[in-house]
Amino acid sequence: MTATPEREEVLRLDGLVMHFGPVRAVDGVDLIVHRGEVVALVGESGSGKSTVGRCIVRLTEPTDGTVTLGGTDVTHLGRRALRAVREDVSIVFQDPAGSLDPRMLVGDVVAEPLRLQKVGRDERRRRVDEVLGKVGLRPEVAGRYPHELSGGQRQRVSLARALVSTPALLVADEPTSALDVSVQASVLNLLADLQRDLGFACLFITHDLSAVEYLADSVAVMYLGQVVEHGTREQVFARPSHPYTQSLLAAAPVADPVAQRARPRVVLGDDLPSAIDPPSGCRFHTRCPVAVERCSTQEPVLRDLGGHKVACHLVADDGTPPDVTAASTMSTSPLPERTP
Ligand SMILES: Nc1ncnc2c1ncn2[C@@H]1O[C@H](COP(=O)(O)OP(=O)(O)OP(=O)(O)O)[C@@H](O)[C@H]1O
């Protein structure tokens, strides 16, 4: 008998909420990442992506909702219990210089997760050598300090540290955006190769939609603390359904100018509204070219339309998205990005 096995959930967020005082950074996020799956989390600066990542690795304790890792609810675990969980999930940050302790030798930085897990010294050394090789660094690098390395090499060290304990899930928060453009591609390629070889699941937080197209199995789009669309890469790129997703894709440069012209032109006028007092109804209605009255009063739920989820009143039950091209006239602008 060959019943199709349910795909195992490595991560599950249910109604995740993270408020910083009045700032509603994350405001009810549901998200599932399956074993070995790469889920891209995209959206403008300030939409709450990093905060979601930080809640997952429990760098911050969520205000509400649950974080489930490998079947264990880790939302409110104490320090000691968290340590065990940290073997299963790692994070890589945008800025490798800021996230590596400058006083520690690279070998010790990479070995630290193993030390916390009480792995013996010889085994630690063996695994550090092995993982440095995997990220394309020579073993001698273990005896150097982070500041002696280039930005790209430092990000390789961050990846080595994140992967040395063979986690089931890697949260990669803008892992290439602080790097020199010339090395971004090599680090992205490395991440893709490592993911293929080691098979970890990855929540890939990024502004870079071409990287999403290259790396991700599925794409979740965040707007003002909520997920407004989630589907496979093909679903989201071939038929972006939420007007916000349509505008993000329209603003992104694509290699093929013909494809670029064929994309709907929508422009995100104005800045992202404040997360302190988000708009009523659909949070995007203040910037949406096709909003109707209902959008300002009634909050849309994230509906599952054949595995492609979207939170928009104007998407038909058969998945037909609203025609934003008819409503918008202006040219494209680049995806807004906060400079570090
Ligand atoms: N520790 C904090 N205290 C107060 N407000 C915070 C804190 N961390 C994040 N915020 C606010 O929460 C909102 C979401 O921020 P977050 O960094 O998660 O967004 P983001 O989508 O990751 O943006 P970026 O792409 O720029 O990193 C923003 O309004 C931000 O100012």
Give the domain CATH number at 77: 3.40.50.300
Identify the residue whose C-alpha is closest to ligand 1 atom 18.
48
Mutate to test the pocket of ligand 1, among 50, 223, 244, 337 (most ligand atoms within 8 A of CB): 50
Identify the residue whose C-alpha is closest to ligand 1 atom 25.
45
274 and 219 in a common domain: no
268 and 188 in a common domain: no
23 and 155 in a common domain: yes
20 lines ligand 1 (CB under 6 A): yes
- Radius of gyration of the chain from its Cα atoms, rounded to whole angstroms: 21
Q: How far is the CA of 190 from the centre of ligand 1 (A)?
A: 28
Is residue 234 domain-resident? no
Q: Is 137 exposed, middle or buried (0-12, 13-18, 19+ CB in 10 A)?
A: buried
Is residue 69 domain-resident? yes
246 and 218 in a common domain: no
- How far is Cα 35 from Cα 55, in angstroms, rounded to an integer? 19
318 and 284 in a common domain: yes
Look at residues 270, 275, 298 and name the one whose alpha carbon lies nearest to residue 286: 270
45 lines ligand 1 (CB under 6 A): yes
Is residue 169 domain-resident? yes
Going from the C-alpha of 67 to that of each of 29, 49, 106, 130, the distances in angstroms are 10, 15, 31, 31
Q: Which tokens is 195 given?
A: 């993911």
- pLDDT value, residue 336: 47
269 and 191 in a common domain: no
Q: How far is the CA of 199 from the centre of ligand 1 (A)?
A: 30
Is residue 253 domain-resident? yes
Q: How far is the CA of 280 from the centre of ligand 1 (A)?
A: 20
Is residue 269 domain-resident? yes
324 and 194 in a common domain: no
- pLDDT value, residue 333: 43
190 and 135 in a common domain: yes
- Digit-by-digit pLDDT tens for the chain (340 residues) are 445 557 899 999 999 999 999 999 999 999 999 999 999 999 999 999 999 999 999 999 999 999 999 999 999 988 888 887 777 899 999 887 778 899 999 999 999 999 988 999 999 999 999 999 999 999 999 999 999 999 999 999 999 999 999 999 999 999 999 898 889 999 999 999 999 999 999 999 998 898 999 999 999 999 999 999 999 999 999 999 999 999 998 876 655 555 554 555 556 666 789 999 999 999 999 999 999 999 999 999 999 999 999 999 999 999 999 988 766 544 344 444 444 4
Identify the residue whose C-alpha is closest to ligand 1 atom 2.
20
- pLDDT value, residue 256: 56
Q: What SS3 class is residue 279?
A: coil
Strand partners, 92: 172
Look at residues 45, 3, 7 and name the one whose alpha carbon lies nearest to residue 232: 7
Q: How far is the CA of 24 from the centre of ligand 1 (A)?
A: 9
23 lines ligand 1 (CB under 6 A): yes
Q: Supply the ipTM of this predicted assembly.
A: 0.97
50 lines ligand 1 (CB under 6 A): yes
- pLDDT value, residue 99: 80
Residue written as token pair 């979207």: 310
338 lines ligand 1 (CB under 6 A): yes
Residue length of the chain: 340
- How far is Cα 175 from Cα 93, in angstroms, rounded to an integer? 6
Beta carbons of 124 and 165 less than 8 angstroms apart: no
Identify the residue whose C-alpha is closest to ligand 1 atom 13.
25
121 and 33 in a common domain: yes
245 and 222 in a common domain: no
Is residue 338 domain-resident? no
Is residue 296 domain-resident? yes
The domain containing residue 183 runs over which residues? 9-226
Q: How far is the CA of 322 from the centre of ligand 1 (A)?
A: 30
Phi and psi dihedrals of 15, rounded to 5? 55, 40
Which of 194, 226, 258 is the C-terminal boundary of a domain? 226
277 and 165 in a common domain: no
SS3 percent helix, strand, coil of the chain, rounded to 5, is 35, 20, 45
155 lines ligand 1 (CB under 6 A): no
For residue 261, the one-letter residue type is: R
Who's near 98: CB < 8 A, 6+ residues apart? none
- How far is Cα 242 from Cα 222, in angstroms, rounded to an integer? 11
- Conformational region of residue 193, where left means phi above 0, alpha means psi within -120 to 50, and beta covers everything else: alpha
Which of 226, 252, 268 is the C-terminal boundary of a domain? 226
Which of 181, 200, 226 is the C-terminal boundary of a domain? 226
26 and 169 in a common domain: yes
Is residue 233 domain-resident? no
- Please count the structural domains in the chain: 2
